[in-house]
A and B are shown apart, each in its own frame.
Chain A
Amino acid sequence: GQNIDQPTEMTATEGAIVQINCTYQTSGFNGLFWYQQHAGEAPTFLSYNVLDGLEEKGRFSSFLSRSKGYSYLLLKELQMKDSASYLCAVYGAGSYQLTFGKGTKLSVIP
């Protein structure tokens, strides 16, 4: 089976740093995605981690530890436009095994 856990909601201040955690228990592991979804819009791709470690892309970084079944998304220099849901998704075993977590709704306040 597949189980992905993320905090439901988080609040952070503009200009700050926030870390959104994701833990997973899946049958097989091929990689982990992070997507951003603004309210009423489609998800958009942020990152894909296959190997352990940190990958940085501008203000956003994503970390993966396969042995711990753990990932986090780090957002730096928060902006108001970063208010959105952040979806963790694991590509597990099986051809259709792309399982999304329920998402973390991030609210950035002034």
Chain B
Amino acid sequence: DTAVSQTPKYLVTQMGNDKSIKCEQNLGHDTMYWYKQDSKKFLKIMFSYNNKELIINETVPNRFSPKSPDKAHLNLHINSLELGDSAVYFCASSQGDLSYEQYFGPGTRLTVT
């Protein structure tokens, strides 16, 4: 069984559109994350969320918003997509805070044209 899953795996869209990426974990973890990995393979944390608190990396544009319908899901919604948003987006989860091992989903490759 897949521990952390994401859909879609590939997403191609035009500038200005709004899109969502879904993430689910079946590990019973308390905390979920979204990361962006750019073309230079630089992995950057965007959000950290548990059932009590959303922590946002202040450098992330407010066009990006995480939405969590329940503890096992953390979706990423992106408004008004820009060319620079093209990257691979990884969802991850951990049992606790950032001191815990993280389990990553397979990634979603977003291409904005």
- Chain A interface residues (CB < 8 Å from chain B): 30-31, 33, 41-45, 48, 50, 85, 87, 89, 91, 95-100, 102-103
Chain B residues positioned under 8 Å from A42 (CB to CB): 90, 104-107
Interface of A is mostly: strand
**B56/A102 in contact, CB under 8 A:** no
Distance (Å) between the CB of A88 and the closest chain B CB? 11
Main secondary structure of the interface of B (DSSP, over half): loop
Most chain A beta-carbon contacts within 10 A, residue among B44, B99, B105: B99
CB distance from B8 to the nearest CB of A (A): 15
Q: Is B45 touching A30 in the complex (CB atoms < 8 A)? A: no
Specify the chain B residue showing the minimal Cβ separation from A30: B99
- Cβ contact of B48, chosen from A50, A96, A103, cutoff 8 A: A96
What string of 1s and 0s marks CB contacts (under 8 Å) between B40-55 and chain A?
A: 1111110110000001
Chain B 67-88 near chain A by CB (<8 Å), digits 1 or 0:
0000000000000000000000
